[in-house]
Amino acid sequence: MVRTMKRQAALSYPKLSISQCTTYTADIRADISTYRAVGADGIGLWEFKLPHGQEAAIGELLAQTGLRPTLCVPEVASIVPDPFFAEPKDPRERRTALCAAIRRFAPFDPVAVMVLTGAPDGHDLAGLRRTVVEGLKAAADTAGKVGVTLGLEPLRRTSGTLVTTLPETLELIEEAGVPEVGVIYDVWHLWDVPNGLDDLRRYAHRLVGVQVNDYRQPTRSWCDRLLPGEGRANVPAIFATLEAAGYDGWYDVEIFSDNGLFGNAYPDSLWDLPAEELARRAVASFRAQWDARQAPGPSPT
């Protein structure tokens, strides 16, 4: 009876994965074991953690545990450089690496492979947009050939991107003529976009995944994210909006919390926690925010 009740309780929550950047320094086998142990349903694979030549073995391990690969991130995810995915500089080399990553992820049957535009700083915007459109077309063509869904993610303007809202992202997808490309919504990047909840309600059907985290106010850097419910974003309102709009896809807890790896050793870094403790807290905080979901108020302005 107790076991049945626990199973029913788990089924009351949406499908939840943990992105591997959340436990940044753990290896992929440890992540798989940890995420399964704490009750996650999926894993957001990061290519830098996937050992070359071991794809088949990792695929078998995932099948054994039942973890679904969800929002998967290439080593070169942006079409032109941005502050995180900075190398190589040549857009042609980047396009080659992005397409290779899409093919590499394909056997894992991911929910989606993430793609970013890259940063406009120092570029002619019209020329840069053409480059991004061409890169998005090439990535979508590769994805179509191997049966992979792409998810284009808008970012905060300070993170380096051509698209910062859901409408801008869909406009770029339309310009590239790749309607099969979906959108990844990230709480940290979009929680305070003007009319953001209205956009979310309108375009929820175009989402292929939702990355969940929270925003420290004031934030110290892009690598200073909090677990859901511990920051400024109204995560329950976002969840309520998505649920009301009929979104029934994956949620992916994605935490960056610098402990010196990216230049800032924050004394309260979540990355300093043992991986299993952080993963367990990720699942618990997501479920607590889901339980607290509420009718949304006015969108941030």
Q: Tell me: the pLDDT tens digits for 103-140? A: 999 999 999 999 999 999 877 889 999 999 999 999 99
Q: For strands 207-212 and 16-19, give the pairing.
A: unpaired
Kindly state the tokens that stand for 275: 């991986």
Confidence of residue 295 (pLDDT cuts 50, 70, 90): low
Q: What is the reported pLDDT for 11?
A: 53
Phi-psi map region of 240: left, alpha, beta (phi>0 left; psi -120 to 50 alpha): alpha
- At residue 86, φ and ψ (nearest 5 deg) are -90, -20
**Four-residue CA torsion sign, 20, 66, 288, 188:** positive
Question: Mean of the pLDDT values across residues 56-61?
Answer: 98
Q: What is the reported pLDDT for 277?
A: 98
> Which has the closest alpha carbon to 71: 26, 38, 36, 116?
116
Confidence of residue 296 (pLDDT cuts 50, 70, 90): low
Q: Tell me: the pLDDT tens digits for 238-289? A: 999 999 999 999 999 999 999 999 999 999 999 999 999 999 999 999 999 9
CATH 3.20.20.150 fits 16-258+266-291, yes or no: yes
Q: Is the pTM of this model over 0.75?
A: yes
Cβ 210 vs Cβ 245: under 8 Å: no
Question: Mean of the pLDDT values across residues 217-233?
Answer: 97
How many CB atoms sit inside 10 A of residue 297's CB?
A: 9
Kindly state the tokens that stand for 62: 């995932």
**Angstrom distances, CA of residue 110 to CA of 29, 36, 39, 71, 277:** 17, 17, 19, 7, 26
pLDDT at 7 over 90: no
- At residue 269, φ and ψ (nearest 5 deg) are -60, 130
Domain residue spans of the chain:
16-258+266-291
Q: For strands 251-253 and 16-19, give the pairing.
A: parallel
Confidence of residue 230 (pLDDT cuts 50, 70, 90): very high
